[in-house]
Structure 1
Amino acid sequence: MARKGTLIRSLTVLAAGAALLAAALYWIPELRGGSPDRTRITVIIKSQTQSMEFWEVLSDGVEVAAREFDVDVDIVGPDRETQIERQIELVEQALRDKPDAVVMAATDYNRLVPYAERVDAAGIPVLTVDSALNSDVTRSFIATDNMEAGRKVGMKMAELAGDRPRSKIAIISFVRGTSSQIDRELGVRAVLEDDERFEIVGTYYSDGDEEKAYETTKQLLLKHTDLTGIVGLNEPSSVGAGRAIKELGAVGRITLVGFDSSIDEVKLLEEGVMQATVVQRPFNMGYLGVKTAVEVLRGVKVPKRIDTGSVVITKDNIYEEENQKLLFPFVER
């Protein structure tokens, strides 16, 4: 019995030692498939919901660049674009994790600034994609020129109005306070407010939620029976507005010019519900965000601003090869 007891105690000690060894090995990066020498980049996007194709495509660009430049990336983000506090928490977590660089799309132009500055002060370069920060802390801002893209929306609306003597326009925007929202609206207004044919009845915020954009547009169409045009400033705002126009039988009476690209927006164009949409290049944003971060870490001088461009898509040019690549970017996984 004594020998049996000794054997049991020995096995217990061995099991405990094995558990401790396994735990220790887990925290050695090389044995988890990582390496302490590999570059680590945290990418903080505005929303991880799968209902927004924009962020999925941007994430595809991030992943492709990570493979090409042999770096580890961690893509994180709140569930919704309105969850600014959650994004702040993710920036603070990045500060604790100490990656080599942080690439972020700011949910708020001002509120994220002190947190991004703390990351920079810790020696971690900060870059922004899609939406900027009200600070010089970022090494590079990679995005659409949203002011210019807004002007394209306004010019297309003006073109589609033709000889109509008077047009009432509503703007369906997304999250108040983001730099992209601010600049797009300024671009639209710069064109339409200088054209005496147009009256902008107001800007309404969907909070990046398609259902809210749909309900808001329905109420607008019922209240303003003389409304002639709607501008949607992002994907959910445009799709929600299109759904309301269809449901209320306003196709042909309301001119809809949207923003971004998705399967639903392509359908709206094909059905004649939406007359045009300004398409960004989110894949390029994600790819260049990682590529530029790698260059910063290598000591390369990078541009302070990188414009990824935008294109006006209509039913007439939707099937052109270059536009098909923008609308349906293919990524080999």
Structure 2
Amino acid sequence: MKSAISIAALCAALMLGASMPIVAYAADKPTLAFVVNGASDFWKAAEAGVKKAQAELPDYNLELKYPEQSSVAIQQRLMDDLVTAGVKGIMVSAVDPKTSTDGLNKIASETALFTTDSDAPQTNRIAYIGSSNVDAGKQAAEIAKKAMPEGGKCLGFVGLLGADNARERIQGMKDGLAGTKIELVDVRGDDIDQTRAKKNVEDALVASPDVTCMVGFYSYNTPRIYEALRDAGKLGQITVVGFDDDPITLGGVKEGTVAATVVQQPFEWAYQGMKMMAAYLKGDKSSIPENKLLIIDTVIVGKDDVDAYAANLKKMAGN
């Protein structure tokens, strides 16, 4: 009877979508966790970075964790569970730093907290390891200016409008377009719902026929833009500015239907971040910059760069 009750409880928890309790970690082998903001192929490179760091940190247990949904509450619950289980350090891409200051500070009071991808500088995090999202936005503006010398109207698409990485990329692009004939007229969010992401593009094609440029600010947004334009027979008619290195995005860049893409280095975020956390826990703070920002440069990948870039990605992944 006892086992039957346990199985029933397990099934009920799964049906409710609840996180199962995380088994307590062994005290003799500290665990460090990399917590992302939602399910996306973008994080596969970070998984490879964690794997490489693990090979160099045999005295630690390194994990990459996905929340069940891209939500502040669910991400917070995941981190709370990790802390309860005894994790010694967390690196997190905060879903919405502006609304989760208290929650992140709670985690920072209980374990070593670092941020990545989307920073939370108003919290007590130890350091941020990731891109300068403002600079990445400015690079997106450079792509648009090169592709649209006569000007035009751009419409942006992004997952989390409230996340720092989104706000900073948008602002960076607007700053980069200042004084030109190109305008970023609006940005539409989808809460990391890829079906909704594609529908946002489809709706825009109907509601905003004067738009001549579309910008995918998150890794999956450019592929959804590509698919919507392809389905509407408008590939090549609208300038597409991409972010990150989804295979569909890189394929579009190579065939010329995506002007170029701004790529980040999540592999390096995870690899360098895990090593930084491990050193910090041992009392070595020398790798933490004075301004608490370790910026990993973003780069523009254009048509002539795709093959070399893709080959390097495979090498990093160990393929």
Q: Give the TM interval when normalised to the shorter protein.
A: 0.7 to 0.9
Asked whether 1:74 is paired with 2:59, we answer no
Aligned residues: 291
TM-score, structure 2 normalization: 0.85
Residue 50 (structure 2) aligns with: 62
Q: Determine if contact 2:143/2:259 at 8 Å carries over to the other structure.
A: no
Question: Match of 1:175, as an amino acid?
Answer: L
Residue 275 (structure 1) aligns with: 259
Question: Match of 2:267, as an amino acid?
Answer: F
CA distance in 1, matches of 2:214, 2:201: 9
Structure 2 gaps, min length 5 = 1-22
Question: Match of 2:90, as an amino acid?
Answer: V
Q: Determine if contact 1:168/1:227 at 8 Å carries over to the other structure.
A: yes
- Secondary structure in 2 matching 1:250: coil
Cα distance, 1:326–1:84 mapped onto 2, change above 3 Å: farther
Q: Determine if contact 2:155/2:185 at 8 Å carries over to the other structure.
A: yes
Q: Determine if contact 1:261/1:327 at 8 Å carries over to the other structure.
A: no
Asked whether 1:186 is paired with 2:145, we answer no
CA distance in 2, matches of 1:317, 1:91: 38
CA distance in 2, matches of 1:109, 1:129: 12
Residue 135 (structure 1) aligns with: 122
Q: Equivalences for 1:141-160 in 2 at 5 Å?
A: 141-160=128-147
Deviation of 1:61 (Å): 0.7
Deviations 1:231-285 (A, max 9, x none): 1101211111111111112222200011011112122223322111111101001
Deviation of 1:77 (Å): 2.2
Q: CA RMSD in A?
A: 2.0
Cα distance, 1:150–1:329 mapped onto 2, change above 3 Å: farther
Residue 18 (structure 1) aligns with: none
Deviation of 1:115 (Å): 2.2
Question: Match of 1:44, as an amino acid?
Answer: V
From 237, 244, 251, give the equivalent of 2:235. 251
Asked whether 1:117 is paired with 2:105, we answer yes
Q: Determine if contact 2:158/2:216 at 8 Å carries over to the other structure.
A: yes
Asked whether 1:324 is paired with 2:313, we answer no
Deviation of 1:117 (Å): 1.5
Structure 1 gaps, min length 5 = 1-31
Asked whether 1:93 is paired with 2:81, we answer yes
Deviation of 1:329 (Å): 4.8
- Secondary structure in 1 matching 2:160: coil
* Identical positions, percent: 22
Q: Determine if contact 1:45/1:76 at 8 Å carries over to the other structure.
A: yes
Question: Match of 1:253, as an amino acid?
Answer: Q
Segments ≥4 residues shifted beyond 3 Å: 325-330
CA distance in 2, matches of 1:66, 1:76: 15
Deviation of 1:327 (Å): 4.3
Question: Match of 2:122, as an amino acid?
Answer: S
